[in-house]
Structure 1
Amino acid sequence: MGQVRREPLGDQAARLLLDRIRSGEWKLGDKLPGETTLAPQLGVGRSTVREAIRQLAGRGVLATRQGSGVFVTALDAPEDWDAVLRRSDIVTVIEARIAIEVEAAFLAAERRTPADLAAIRAALADRGRRTGSIEDHVDADTAFHRAIVAASGNSLLTDLFDGFTPRSRASMIDMLRLRGTFGDDIDQDTHAALLAAVADGDGEEAARRSRAHLLAIKKWVSPSPASPASPAKLASIDVPER
């Protein structure tokens, strides 16, 4: 049985526990030993064991049942979101955003409350004001899109959007620096039209506008192989940016 030797301890402990599950030490549905047993086996404290269990529970491998203990609910785990996103290029992220945000826009048009609309309108107004720096603009733009996703009433869609935010933010900042301009009136109008569709309760139109906006970004960042875009060419393309 290996012991944890390197930081971060919680990650190392989670990996060791997952290795033991993968090796067949515990079967599906088995109950894990208690913290007082696992801690010395892993060479860590009980709080680190709890952190490792929390991580694996978040990945669907373990489940904590109040008053009963911790049980194995899967024999392997998909790669964690952060590791996946670090290797994803911006086109992959945009494609995933399309899958999330187009459906979210449709649902938001059906389910938005007065409070949701107030939050989206406030985010749009803030987006229009925050043009002093690329970072501020991207953050305000992200807040607008998140407000629409939140208005869908589907907490899982919101969690997925939040998972993509760090990778998307860094890529958008880099791209807008390359382009050199951002936050013009046409771009703001594109977002205002999406808000209008949501406010009107027109799910099909909201989904269409969301998809068109994200596809325009995808087209901008993925030029055809036959004619790769140079920095100068990218800077001249007039499409709505996120």
Structure 2
Amino acid sequence: MTTNHAPPGAERTAVVTGGSRGIGRAVAHRLARADLAVVVNYASDADAAEETVAAITAAGGRSTGVRADVADEHAVAALFDRAEQEFGGVDVVVNCAGRLALSPIADLDLAVLDAVHRTNIRGTFVVAQQAARRLRAGGSFVGFSTSVVGTQFPAYGAYAASKGAVEALTLILARELRGRDITVNTVAPGPTATDLFLDGKTPEQIDRLAKAPPLERLGTPEDIAEVVAFLTGPEGRWVNGQVLRANGGMV
């Protein structure tokens, strides 16, 4: 496959899935501050996406919001088409879109399992597939896993299993893109203060998880966005085919 290069001096463009809220929103803002045009993908919350886009443009950046279910290959192809049509190409893809369900394995409704895996595994695969076809030379793909793959907390069986698959497929993609000057890495956050993480947890549970890392605090979406900015920027070009556990030192 031939890889296009961005014209000299051309604006770089990022596609951020799940970019309307939480870590995805922080990533979108951080990449915009690094002078990338940002395509903010969202699944259903158009208002949140519009807020993200408006904040980026108000700060002098370029951005647009595009609705797409990451597990729908036609919708994702249209998302990348829009990025190319509006901004000239795609240089960075960050797949923040994800779904979380907590339950003991013995009790989990298999329909919930299917929904988690549809977004987290199929969705990652579909987005990675388009990234492999569209990214220009010098580009980067960043997938999202979780440190629970290593910590193995109870009730996270479906979620951790799906993210283990994300790690495997993204690291294989790094090797499949040999010779194209494209980096592929996965970020695996620890407990991070997002709505997705905080929902349904008691203050005691949150406090216990905050004390788990040696730094004794929850991560912030901005902490994770800085890691993504490093991996997709010039300073991170020698990091490829890795899982980076951004979790404050949790085992």
Quick check: TM above 0.5?
A: no
The structure with the larger Rg is 1
**Greater helix fraction, Structure 1 or Structure 2:** 1
Calculate the TM-score normalised by the size of structure 2.
0.25
Q: TM-score, normalised by structure 1?
A: 0.25
